[in-house]
Amino acid sequence: MIDESLAALSDTLFSISVGLYSLAVVAFCAELAFGRSVRGRTEQLVAAGGVPAQPPVDAPAAGEPVEPARARRLGLVAMVLTGLGAVTHAGVLVARGMATDRLPWGNMYEFATAVVLVAVVAYLVLAVRAPSLRHIGVFLLAPVVLSMVLIGLFLYAEAGPLVAALRSSWLAIHVSTATIGFGIFFVSGIASVLYLVRTRRDATVAAGASTGASAAPSLLDRLPTAAALDRTAHRTAVFGFPIWTFAVIAGAIWAESAWGRFWGWDPKETWAFIAWIVYAAYLHARTTAGWRGRPSAWINIVGLVVMIFNLLFVNLVSTGLHSYGGV
């Protein structure tokens, strides 16, 4: 039996989550607009008598971005809105699970919704641990809002029981780890895209400085440094890779239990394995001389594209043993 009131609550919370994330995007944009790229003073303060004086405790260090109070307040508002959105987003899945009395990732709508939630939570954790990463919020939340809108428009499925093929304890193991791995890779891929954007911006500024011309101010100057973005992409991929590896292994074990074979080159299995190879290549390239930086970042972005293709292709285009979840 389906609890229709809880199912309706889940749908309402989905709409509220989209609204909160959208407001967070606006607040993040305002933060970038009112922020400045001015760097801290490099000259040394000199007291009477020519003795160097200590700068004020709250004075920015040399080269450190100076952020106006108004921009900081807008950033805090954006973070609060994102946190509230994550809470209502989690409520979408909790209410759906209670309405159907099962784990709430039994179809593409529920799985994709859970993946986006993991990405948002991963961003919040990163932004709290490293405040400078807060400035990637607009670039992460904008794809989140777009994803949620597309999920609601094209992948929505009415609350209902699991199809017979998914009624297994392996659903909690295989699909849960796949969801977490995908969500973390989503953040890693966005960080690599921003790394490429930041390195291009830095190259433009450097080229202008070499010719004596200063580059026009840009909102891209508010991004974290290229090194910080590269480090974020790498660390999140390192965290997500073993989780995805376990998801692939758990899927093979479930396949043996359900179909009598560990591997059959089903489209979903094939692309999951291709994604694993791409991320293994990224982690290897990231530590290999000559492949660090932009080449490895492109590999990470290819990995995210493969993950998205794997999510959409099997259920919407291909026919295989994994095409039973519906949309």
pLDDT tens digits, 18-34 = 999 999 999 999 988 88
Angstrom distance (rounded) from CA 316 to CA 86: 28
Give the confidence band of 327 by pLDDT, cuts at 50, 70, 90. Answer: low
pLDDT of residue 322: 58
Which amino acid, residue 29? C
Give the confidence band of 171 by pLDDT, cuts at 50, 70, 90. Answer: confident
Q: Following DSSP, what letter does each residue of 121-163 receive, concatenated?
A: HHHHHHHHHSGGGGGGHHHHHHHHHHHHHHIIIII-----PPP
pLDDT of residue 318: 62
Q: Please give the torsion angle defined by the CA atoms of residues 163, 168, 171 and 174, in that order, rounded to the nearest 10 degrees.
A: -130
Average pLDDT of the segment spanning 242-268? 85
pTM for the model: 0.86
**Which of 41-45, 68-72, 221-225, 247-251 is predicted with the least confidence, judged by mean pLDDT?**
41-45
Average pLDDT of the segment spanning 74-90? 96
